[in-house]
Amino acid sequence: MPILSPSDAARVREMLADLPNPVRLVFFTQTLNCETCEPTKQILGEVADLSDQVTVEEHNLLLEQALAAGYGIDRAPAIAVVGARDHGIRFLGIPSGYEFMSLLDAIKVASAGDSGLNEASRAMLAGLESPLALEVFVTPT
């Protein structure tokens, strides 16, 4: 049974209709001790079914640790949202509730390769000389 309702699926299809470039959802999962890995896989699959530009690339975290480490990932479920370039956008945990919208936004900006930030914000980031690692804690509701 789908997680997305028919009306939600229609809205997602509309939101992703004009993606200019392909986006890969690089998904790290594991079979044991991961309650949300299967529902995460299902959500990502449903999203990919709604856009020709979105694909899911599934990997086993435990069997592909070196690949995961390359993405800075050491737990599951985890998703790297990768457009023409890997911009370093990651989701740890199931992207449900409000975070589902964040995932869709991430897909859109990764596809476009454009942050959508205003000029003042872009100027501040252009001057950045050191790495800046953000961890944004959220909840689904």
Partner 1 sequence: MAVESGKVTSFVVEASEYPDLVRKYHVSGVPKTIVNGTVEILGARPEEDFIRTAVGAAAPGASTVS
| Interface with partner 1 (CB under 8 A) | 36, 72, 75, 87-95, 99, 102, 106, 109-110, 113-115, 117-118, 120-122, 124-140
* Nearer Cβ to partner 1 (10/38): 38
* Nearer Cβ to partner 1 (10/31): 31
CB 141 to partner 1: min, Å = 10
* Nearer Cβ to partner 1 (63/124): 124
Cα separation, 140 vs 30, whole angstroms = 21
- Amino acid found at 58: E
CB 8 to partner 1: min, Å = 19
* Nearer Cβ to partner 1 (32/137): 137
CB 68 to partner 1: min, Å = 13
Cα separation, 61 vs 27, whole angstroms = 9
The answer to whether the beta carbons of residues 90 and 80 sit under 8 Å apart is yes
Q: At what angle do helices 98-112 and 6-15 cross, to 10 degrees?
A: 30
The answer to whether the beta carbons of residues 82 and 70 sit under 8 Å apart is no
